[in-house]
Structure 1
Amino acid sequence: QPIWDSVLEHPFIRGIADGTLPDETFQYYLGQDYKYLVEYGRARAAAVVKAADLETMQVFAESVNYILAGETLFHRRAAEHLGRKLTDFLEGEKAPTNQAYTSYLLGVACTGTFGELVAACLPCLWGYSYVGRALLAGGLPDHPLYADWIRTYGDDELRHRSDRMCALLDRLADGADEGQRAKLAEHYLTCSRYEWMFFDMAWRRETWPI
């Protein structure tokens, strides 16, 4: 929780909330976030393979479609608003923090258990729902893109998806031994930290130093 309280107080998020975030900073974020979502979709797709039963496979298969076709609808609307194409957001390279975060996720997807992958993927889903709902409760800014961002991540559907994955991780943790639970906690904490770092990366418009 302290990490997510820090996210809410980060100047990037405060700038979205009050509409003062520089447009260039948000456009940087959009490009990095779209690149991230492609890799996040790959990680969630790996959960389909690792899932133990058909019902869970179906849940994660649908979630991949939601990420790549549903969540990215916001990015499509943003691209249209900016007079750009959605594929423009794939241009350029990942920033160092984005590269590190997505590499970590894909590493867990390749070598971790199903539970470890759920723990690594949850912070993005839960965190965006938490932040979106918190900002929505405070009202919408006049800036159309930032208001759209808040509505997108503050909606009930995302909260339902978040609650469902939280419940799944709780069940997996209940059935795990002490060592396994420690591993789940490690992945969840690490990716929560990466979420804060991602917003900070966007705020600084991070580039490779060399």
Structure 2
Amino acid sequence: MSYRFTDLTDACAIEWRAYTEHDFVRQLASGRLKDEAFRHYLKQDYLFLMHFGRAYALATYKSRDMAELRHGLEGLKTIIDVELELHIDYCREWGISENDLATLPEARATLAYTRYVLDTGNRGDLLDLHVALAPCLVGYGVIAQWQAKQPFTVRGATNPFEKWMQMYESDAFQSAMRDEITWLDARLADITPERFAQLTTTFCEATRLEIDFWQMGLDQAD
């Protein structure tokens, strides 16, 4: 049997839908999300991006040929040199300074997901690491597509979160998402059913931890 990334999302369909259609992203799309919930998320997402960079550094270390090495290095450079700088600038628009970000304590949800990803990558191989990261990289692109189709989504200046939605529906991010799915499809194609079961466990757990990351923002605002 030949596996694809969609087989992972099908195997974790309940978790995947709970994550990609979470109330946090519903409220964000409709413009009803409380500002304090979004600010808390932005702060913790900065910390997550730092650990995401560490994960790509680990992916570079785990690489076994030049193609994998270049892939990991490009991902690391994009996160550190582009995504983190863009995130810092966006946080400033929400009244969060770079000094605020530098002194943040990590929330439990941030600790749980980022350490799970890094531990999975340390224990396993490059495929294990990418599957643990997939709910973030692929998930955000899927969420942006889903938001764009919903009747309750408010677009334009009347939605304070319009720029966030634009980031993840952009051609650049959607292209990166498609590239990651292609990478995963190529490596999932020839694995055994036993290996797929292992990766399914990783993917489902990582998706549940992403659900907790969304919920963290809503709980902060209660």
TM-score, normalization: structure 2?
0.84
Match of 1:166 among 173, 181, 184: 181
What letter is aligned with 2:121? Answer: A
**Aligned equivalents of 1:143 and 1:48: distance in 2?**
42
1:97–1:164 CA distance, 2 compared to 1 (3 A): same
Within-5 A mapping of 1:50-199: 50-137=62-149, 138-140=153-155, 142=157, 145-199=160-214
1:9–1:188 CA distance, 2 compared to 1 (3 A): closer
What letter is aligned with 2:180? Answer: M
User: Residue deviations 1:64-117, cap 9 Å, x none?
Assistant: 122223223442232221343234223232111211111111101222111111
Unaligned runs of 5+ in 2: 1-12
Larger RCO (alpha carbons 8 Å, 6+ apart): 2
What letter is aligned with 1:152? Answer: M
- Are residues 1:16 and 2:28 paired? yes
Could you tell me whether the CA contact under 8 Å between 1:134 and 1:154 is conserved in 2? no
CA shift for structure 1 position 11? 2.4
The equivalent of 1:46 in structure 2 is 58
Paired residue secondary structure (2:106): coil
**Aligned equivalents of 2:100 and 2:85: distance in 1?**
14
Paired residue secondary structure (1:126): helix
Unaligned runs of 5+ in 1: none
1:141–1:135 CA distance, 2 compared to 1 (3 A): farther
Greater shift in the superposed pair: 4-13 or 160-169:
4-13
Could you tell me whether the CA contact under 8 Å between 2:29 and 2:161 is conserved in 1? yes
The equivalent of 2:45 in structure 1 is 33
Greater shift in the superposed pair: 157-166 or 19-28:
157-166
Greater shift in the superposed pair: 135-144 or 3-12:
135-144
1:26–1:163 CA distance, 2 compared to 1 (3 A): same
The equivalent of 2:10 in structure 1 is none
Between Structure 1 and Structure 2, how many residues are aligned? 206
Could you tell me whether the CA contact under 8 Å between 1:45 and 1:64 is conserved in 2? yes
What letter is aligned with 1:151? Answer: Q
**Aligned equivalents of 2:120 and 2:93: distance in 1?**
36
User: Residue deviations 1:29-70, cap 9 Å, x none?
Assistant: 111111111111111221111122211211221111222232
**Aligned equivalents of 2:208 and 2:91: distance in 1?**
28
**Aligned equivalents of 1:84 and 1:34: distance in 2?**
11
Could you tell me whether the CA contact under 8 Å between 1:124 and 1:195 is conserved in 2? yes
**Aligned equivalents of 1:11 and 1:105: distance in 2?**
24
What letter is aligned with 2:74? Answer: E
**Aligned equivalents of 2:178 and 2:21: distance in 1?**
23
Paired residue secondary structure (1:92): coil
Paired residue secondary structure (2:148): helix
CA shift for structure 1 position 8? 4.4
Paired residue secondary structure (1:205): helix
